[in-house]
Structure 1
Amino acid sequence: MAVAKRLLLQLHVVIAVAFLLDGAAGLRMAIMRTECLTEEVANEGDIVTGSFVVLDHQSAWAEQHPGMDLGVTGPGNNHVYSTRWKVEDKFSFRALKPGPYKFCFTNHAPAPKSVIFQVHVGHTISPEEIAKAEHFDPLALQIGKVSEALALVVQEQAYLRAREERHRITNESTSRRVVFYSFIETAGIVTASLLQVFFLRRLFEKRGKRVSV
């Protein structure tokens, strides 16, 4: 019954996160060069899923250095997953060993970048665990599956929220650029018109003096 109780508690926690928090926001970080985080995996075979979204990639300096690198290493510093120059990405892998897994972001731009990162370690009860459990309720296995499914839904909601925020920042940045360039263009037209008026007046004044002489 201990396994069933643990699964019920896990289900209650996930439901609370899904409905009370209205979707997780993820961990927001400002990365200058390299930043690493560690997530503990308790069991061999656990599924590790996650995502990240770079928010301010549309700034002037970021256009020449788009995206960010992510490298994941497992126990013993073994390579697990990597991606380069991405403004957003989702990943999933099966942990071959229990222990700490390190997630390292690398920013190649000369200024900090903001990134929203989230990771989830999912565990499904194996047949061996079911066989070892005394008085195991078959519904506990289904509860575990529902719990993991809800956790993935919450994670996907957080990823979509981060993408929505990135698109909003992009639209605002584009709007500011349009206004700025429109102002520069208008100022240029006004300046050119004033110069034309000035030179035309000078030209007519010179011609008027010649005629009077």
Structure 2
Amino acid sequence: MIQYTAFSLLLFILLTISNLVWGIKFDLPATPSNALTPKCISQYVYTDTLVVATIKIGVGYNQIVDVKITDNSPAHNEYGGKKDIEEDTRLAFTTHADADVSICFTNTLDDEFRPDPKYRRTIDLDIDVGAEAIDYDALAKAEKLKPIDAELRKLEQVVQEIVDEMDYLRKREARMRDTNESTNERVKWFSLGSMIVFVGLGGWQIIYLKKFFQRKRLID
């Protein structure tokens, strides 16, 4: 009984943590087409991770809201987007690299209107990453899973993400340690080389000055 209670408590805690959703709500001012400045929201995401962005747009006349999703990896991957959003939009994609994923919005004001602070639209953005991006209700129906089986499947995914993150941190720590050791080795050899050069230069100066004074017959 105690073991079952402990397991239930652990399950509740992990599912509570996993249910945290990254969301943000903000006003996006409208600007002319020749002075657009994207408003970007970024989040670091690991490779091969499912991401679902749910966008809700507030009412705004004479304004066109576009969204584009990219990352800052060397490949500069693009994960799509949508132009002239007028209703709730759901964008799903799988990342191709460990990088910051940026969801960028622009709000273009109609050319017939002058810029004014009153021209803006409210953006409500919710982002589900990894286990939270999976529709377990649909999965349970497709595979005819019981509710507890669906929750255990979700818990398994959450635990796997934790393991993957710990493995990533371990590899990152190993790379940083290798970098520190390599830097220390280079500093050591540079210091040793500098000492040899200084000692050699000092010895050369002594020999040169001795010969110079002997030529001037200042010393024997």
TM-score by length of 1: 0.45
